[in-house]
Structure 1
Amino acid sequence: MLHLGDYNYLEILRELEHGVYLGSDDGDVLLPRKYVPEGSRPGDMVSVFVYRDSEDRLIATTLEPKAKVDQFACLQVRDVNNYGAFLDWGLEKDLFVPYKNQHDALHPGQWTLVYVYLDENSDRLVGSTKLAPYLSYEPITFQEGDEVQLLIGPEKALGFQVIVNNSYLGMLYRNEVFRPLEPGEYTQGYVKKVREDNKLDVSLQKQGYDEVEQAAQTILQKLKEENGWLPLTDKSAPDLIYQTLGMSKKTFKKAIGGLYKKGTVQLLPEGIQLVSS
């Protein structure tokens, strides 16, 4: 059975000037010439993403979409017409979001969280920015500090909307953001609070003592790699600290404070010096 909106492993049946035809239980599928892997020939198996083109024909591609069927994504609106909005999801044909599926009116250039699903009536892949029907409402079993996967959504007044583990809606508050984030980015995060409305507050780093202890070990390892010297201080730019150590400035300051109290490092005007044992 062909899985529309997902990857399929199909056999090349025959080769024509404009591409190759792949075999499936639902009929032959065209893989256009520009997407045919070099050196492929009839009898070979290829992994392709299958969807419908602008004329509703089954089509295959080796391009990787930004989301598959039954997944959330954060996509940018490319165009809007009388029928709805069209979002760039990495394929030649944009993802269609009809007006009835829009939580708020969409505008060209805007980033939005969207859910991709297969419409049973039209057998087309469409999107919806009305996320509520597609979120999980199973009791949340996460505990504070649990590691989760975050899909970064658009920036709001309080911070970034996020999708947690492709199941829950969450919020990454502005004061928890210590590095540049891009809409549509996937990143590791941590549960900060489970809210009564079945939503989550999350952060980019673990909270509490474990976070600071882990940061201290990271700083020590980096000092050893750099012959006992790092040109970082409590006045260094947050971006520089993140690029060097992968942590927020707040965590960095707590960690070097703890290392200084233990006598492990010296804090000099130009940087941090590892104390010889």
Structure 2
Amino acid sequence: MIQVGKTNQLQVAAEFPFGFQLTATGDDDTTVTLASTSAPADLKVGDTLEAFVTTDNAGALIAFAQTPLIQIGETRVLRAVNATDFGAFFDWGLEKDLLVPAQYQEQPVNPGMHYVVHAFYDEKTSRVLGATKLHYFLRDKETGLEPGTQVECIVYSKTELGYKVVVNEVYAGLIFHFDAFKPLRIGEKLDAVIKNVREDGKLDIALQRVDKVGRRTLEEAIIDDLEAHGGFSTLTDKSQPDEIYARFSVSKAAYKKALGALYKQRKIVIDKQAVRLVTK
């Protein structure tokens, strides 16, 4: 069965002056047109190839040998190339741009800027479309994730409370401003952690673990870093937050707590200029 909006394994059933007719194995009734301009060189009847299947403006199935930047069910960062009253167009790596209709836009789209886009198949129009209004498509309640679980996030919106994120391309989550500890950009990809699963199933996300496991891991990372640099580091509790984040991907507050714990354990000494590893 041919999956629209996905890459399919197809076979060349016929060749025409303008291109090729493709079918799926065991499905001779459904045909897809592959234009000559998109076909690999030396393609001939009987060959098989992987091709991305979508629809043209009339709803007919067409194929591209190129793999697009996004397929249905996926959420990716794409660049807008044009905007009209009825919708905006995004570069997704194919000759034909991806349409994001006006009703599926979180906010007006500006050409040249990057946005977080979800691709879906619209039954009403029989077309593969995109959306920047992501809450239509993301699950707002988790099914099995637990606090402390490492996740991948994409920032897609900023609110008064914090940053809305796509979690593992499936769920909606929120990073509160006090858990972000640095400005985040729309479209930024982050390694994060589940901080809390609320009673209603919604996800609170943090950029770092704040439990005992997270603190212990950070302490171990600091010791490893000191050992790798001859037992000496100029990254102190007085350093700038961005310098600390660049080295350890944690907030300044978390770094200071870890240094304090290591100092109490007599594993390091700290002064205004440096942190030194205690040698036995």
Q: TM-score, normalised by structure 2?
A: 0.79
Number of aligned residues: 274
Superposition deviation, residue 192 in structure 1: 1.8
- Does 2:270 match 1:267? yes
Report the equivalent of 2:6. 6
The one-letter code matched in structure 2 to 1:189 is A
**Residues in 1 aligned to 2:16 and 2:229: alpha-carbon distance in whole angstroms:** 58
Distance between the aligned counterparts of 1:22 and 1:41, measured in 2? Answer: 11
Kept in 1, the 8 Å contact 2:38–2:66? The answer is: no
Whichever residue aligns with residue 60 of structure 1, its letter is F
2:124 alignment partner AA: N
Consecutive aligned runs of 4 or more in structure 1 exceeding 6 Å deviation: 12-21
Which residue in 2 is equivalent to 1:95? Answer: 98
Matching residue of 1:154: 157
Tell me how far apart the structure 2 counterparts of residues 128 and 205 of structure 1 sit (CA, whole Å). Answer: 30
User: 1:190·1:203 contact (CA, 8 Å) conserved in 2?
Assistant: yes
Q: Which runs of 5+ in 2 are unaligned?
A: none
SS at match of 1:27: strand
The offset of 1:15, in angstroms, is 8.9
Q: Which segment is superposed worse, 245-254 or 39-48?
A: 39-48
Pairwise CA distance, 1:93: 2.8
Q: CA deviation at 1:214?
A: 0.4
Superposed displacement of residue 132, structure 1: 4.0
Aligned with 2:62 (options 58, 64, 67): 58
Report percent identity of matched pairs. Answer: 32
Candidates 97, 122, 125, aligned match of 1:122: 125
What does residue 199 of structure 1 align with?
202
- Structure 1, unaligned runs of 5 or more: none
Superposed, which structure 2 residues align to 1:1-277 within 5 Å?
1-11=1-11, 23-24=23-24, 25=27, 26-30=30-34, 36=40, 46-52=49-55, 58-65=62-69, 67-108=70-111, 112-136=115-139, 140-178=143-181, 181-196=184-199, 198-277=201-280
d(CA) in 1 for partners of 2:89 and 2:220?
47
Q: Is the partner of 1:5 in helix, strand or coil? A: coil
8 Å CA contact retained: 1:22, 1:29: yes
- Deviation of 1:126 (Å): 0.9
Distance of 1:139 and 1:48 partners within structure 2: 33
Local SS of the residue matching 1:69: coil
Q: 1:21 to 1:113 in 2, by over 3 A?
A: same
Gap change, CA 1:105 and 1:198, over 3 Å in 2 = farther
Partners of 2:269 and 2:48 in 1: how far apart? Answer: 60
Matched residue type, 1:230: S
